[in-house]
Structure 1
Amino acid sequence: YFLIALFLIPVNRAAALADQYRKKAVLFKTGNIVLVPLGDDFRFLSTKEWDIQVSNYRKLIQYYDDHPELRITLRFSTLSNYFDRLHELAGVDSDTIPTQLSNHQGSFKTFVGDMFTYADRDHDYWSGYFTSRPFYKRMSRTLESELRTAEILYSFARHRFSLWSLDSQSFLTQNDSISIKFVELFDKLYSLLTLARRNLGLFQHHDGITGTATSRVVQDYNIR
């Protein structure tokens, strides 16, 4: 996760990358065309890294072009480019919806079933996040409940104040300071609710509520 992108010589990566592409290709019906997304957590955080990544891949693209014996054509692409090519190989119109594509002759099989619990290696199941840092999980649910209650009470109070303002217009006109204080109070309460809502939402990140964030980030969640 924290390896910094460095300039590389094409030959020292081309063979290893080609091996990975071939292993990925056998998992798809159209093994001769494979979409390989680029990126990861904490990637492309600066223009410098972006430039290095692009430069590295351009070297690899050129290396594969210069070595046809590797039988790999590597190109920068978009999702539209990929699916247009996929439809072309399937012999169907690019406007074909997925359900029609699956019923086409030589159809693309659909894999269904229980995808849980996720495993990225043999017997390495991603289940620890259900129980990691239970205090923060509990705190999140408690805040969620109390925040919802506070929002409802705030809405009722604001509504009652608006009705009372109409019924007591003459009184409030003579006591502007009281009216101003109420408005200021509601504004302050709304700001606090907004802050709590945003912090709670931030904690729903897949490395927040799961308890898989770094210690420094967890400390920041705790402060919030």
Structure 2
Amino acid sequence: MSGRRSPSARRIADALVENCGRTYAEEAGIRLKNTPQPLYQLLVLSLLLSARIRAPVAVAAARALYGHGLRTPRRMADATWQQRVDALGEGHYRRYDERTATQLGEGAELVLDIWRGDLRRLREEADGDRDRLMEGLRRVPGIGPAGADIFVREVQSLWPEIGPWTGTKAVRGAERLGLPTSPGRPAEAGRGHDDAVFAAALVRAALDRDIVDEVMEAARAR
């Protein structure tokens, strides 16, 4: 509002995390830790979120897949195409359900063939190089630049050598909030907060103008 003093970047960052500070993995019910199953679940979620579909729908579809036991690449590969389609439909992920069901099956086979079902092997291959990690992720059918961005953004608290990372959509959220947007600067604004949580909160701000308004009002009141 005109005449009001703009809150500091620190106050905005604190208000942002307080208002919407949780990762998409957490929202999808993934207990993220450095073991094969939750890392694979995060890969699936990243694929679903990267489509042009609302984030709550992607999260619901991920939950439906996990609810059908499709939590590992072996279980995903062994499921029929129709079983994958039906699970996605339960999450209302209908616009891309047939293509995504195919990609999930092919991607599971690739994860099994190349990394023996364990994405920690991809981490070892990348050896701390974020670009190499993203390149490896993009080998998975359905994981493009956006999907790789999401996976890295969400996994960085477990794999700190690749962070801090905000990604393209999070930078848009920073811009809406009046936070720095030059390379590396959005993460600096969130210093002291978990990198993955802060980056996810920035994404939520990019996707929802109401969140921006609520956060700015809370920051002014701090």
- TM-score tier (shorter): under 0.3
Which structure has the larger Rg over C-alpha atoms?
A: 1
User: Relative contact order: is structure 1 or structure 2 higher (C-alpha 8 Å, sep ≥ 6)?
Assistant: 2
Write 1 or 2 for the structure with the bigger share of helix.
2
